[in-house]
């Protein structure tokens, strides 16, 4: 049963990352827009991401630095939605597709 549940989580995360069923942010902004990044900053703050990704994701802490990451959007989506055992919790139950798009826009917008 756990294997099936994990398969559905992976498939769901991949569908989100491919943009299936995601209508961008609240105002239909393109994923990389300044408004999407601003909403993503709110998601980052309200979900406690800064606890591990310090300085708004600009510095490493308990988790890696997000600014300037070479990871793909698909990888970031998978990690946010599924977490990493003993390292990062899964946010699949608390972040929806719009918030996920906005959060990725925020990560991509990070500057020093």
CA distances from 5 to 1, 11, 12, 27, 112 (A): 6, 10, 11, 32, 39
List the domains of the chain with CATH numbers: 2-109 (1.10.760.10)
Q: How confident is the model at residue 21 (pLDDT cuts 50, 70, 90)?
A: very low
Residues 60, 35: Cα–Cα separation, whole Å: 25
For the segment 7-33, the average pLDDT, to the nearest whole number, is 51
Measured CA to CA, the distance from residue 1 to residue 99 in angstroms comes to: 28
Residues 44-76 have pLDDT tens digits of 999 999 999 999 999 999 999 999 999 999 999
């Amino acid at each position: 049963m756990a294997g099936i549940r994990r398969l559905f989580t992976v498939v769901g995360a991949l569908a989100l990352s491919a943009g299936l069923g995601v209508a961008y942010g609240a105002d239909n902004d393109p994923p990389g827009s300044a408004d999407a990044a601003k909403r993503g900053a709110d998601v980052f703050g309200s979900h406690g991401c800064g606890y591990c990704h310090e300085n708004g994701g600009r510095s490493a802490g308990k988790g890696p630095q997000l600014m300037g990451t070479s990871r793909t959007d698909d990888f970031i989506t998978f990690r946010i939605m599924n977490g990493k055992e003993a390292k990062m919790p899964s946010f699949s139950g608390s972040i929806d597709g719009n918030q996920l798009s906005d959060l990725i826009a925020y990560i991509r917008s990070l500057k020093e």
